[in-house]
Amino acid sequence: MFPIAHSAFDHIDPFYFTLIRYDAVTIILVFLLLWREGKQAFRFEGYGLQLCFFDTMAFVVYNILIFWGEDLLGEPGAMVASVMEALMPMISIVLLRIVFRKRPHSFTTICVIVAFIGAMFVIMKGDFAGFLGATSDIIPSILIFIAVVGWVIYTIGGSRFNGWSALQSSTLSCLLGTLTATVVVTIATMVGYVSIVLLHIRIYCLW
């Protein structure tokens, strides 16, 4: 995902990159949910604010920040983002320990650490100096780390909506998350940080 995104950033900024790829998915899911489960499936059943928070963690905090950070880092950005993503199981363990007081089994912790070390060797191809040099650019690295934490929060929060079908939860998540992302991208455009995407760029598979 990240090497492809890095290539796409030569033609489109990370903000519109995120918005376009999820706009398309959201439209498809809305029609599917309407067809399969009807209008009643679009009711939030009192979970609107919670869903909006968790979806913002996924579609704004994760998706925009991780690609923004990758773009700011340039060529090493794909490697840094990939390694940060490999931290997700470890971050999950820490958050569950802090928030829910759930202490993981020792075997689970060992497996997560071994898996992370293995992922680092695969992603970095032994170039640890290159990774450390890339992460010395602190602001983009922090953006990517915050993005990863945002996705972990989203996945943990998803357990609150077990009564919904996978299609319903996915559609409502995409719908609210994309609306929030649209607001963020609109503000970024209005203040002049990003420009409106022109549709003369070549077609990319953005998801």
Q: How confident is the model at residue 11 (pLDDT cuts 50, 70, 90)?
A: confident
By the 8 A CB rule, do 61 and 189 touch?
no
- The HSE-up count of residue 154 (CA atoms within 13 Å, CB side) is 23
Q: What is the pLDDT of residue 130?
A: 62
Q: What is the pLDDT of residues 96-142, one digit of tens each?
A: 877 777 777 788 778 888 887 877 777 666 666 666 665 567 888 88
How many domains does the chain contain in total?
1
Residue 7 lies in a domain: yes
Residue 81 lies in a domain: yes
By the 8 A CB rule, do 169 and 158 touch?
yes
Residue 195 lies in a domain: no
Residue 53 lies in a domain: yes
Q: What is the pLDDT of residues 12-61, one digit of tens each?
A: 889 998 888 888 889 999 999 999 998 888 888 777 888 889 889 988 99
Residue 107 lies in a domain: yes
Q: What is the pLDDT of residue 124?
A: 67
Dig out the tokens for 67 from the structure.
């690609």
By the 8 A CB rule, do 130 and 124 touch?
yes
Residue 127 lies in a domain: yes
Indicate if the pLDDT at residue 199 is higher than 70. no
Among 125, 194, 150, 164, which residue's Cα sits nearest to residue 46?
Answer: 164
Dig out the tokens for 188 from the structure.
């970024």
Instruction: Transcribe 117-175 into DSSP letters.
Output: HHHHHHHHTT-HHHHHHHHTSHHHHHHHHHHHHHHHHHHHHGGGGTTS-HHHHHHHHHH
**Gap between the Cα atoms of 197 and 124, Å rounded:** 33
Residue 205 lies in a domain: no
Domain that holds residue 183: 2-190
By the 8 A CB rule, do 93 and 154 touch?
no
**Gap between the Cα atoms of 199 and 92, Å rounded:** 39
Q: How many residues does the chain have?
A: 207
Residue 200 lies in a domain: no
Query: Can you give 29-91 as a three-state secondary structure string?
Result: HHHHHHHHHCHHHHCCCCCHHHHHHHHHHHHHHHHHHHHHHHHHHCCCHHHHHHHHHHCHHHH
Indicate if the pLDDT at residue 164 is higher than 90. no
Q: What is the pLDDT of residue 91?
A: 84
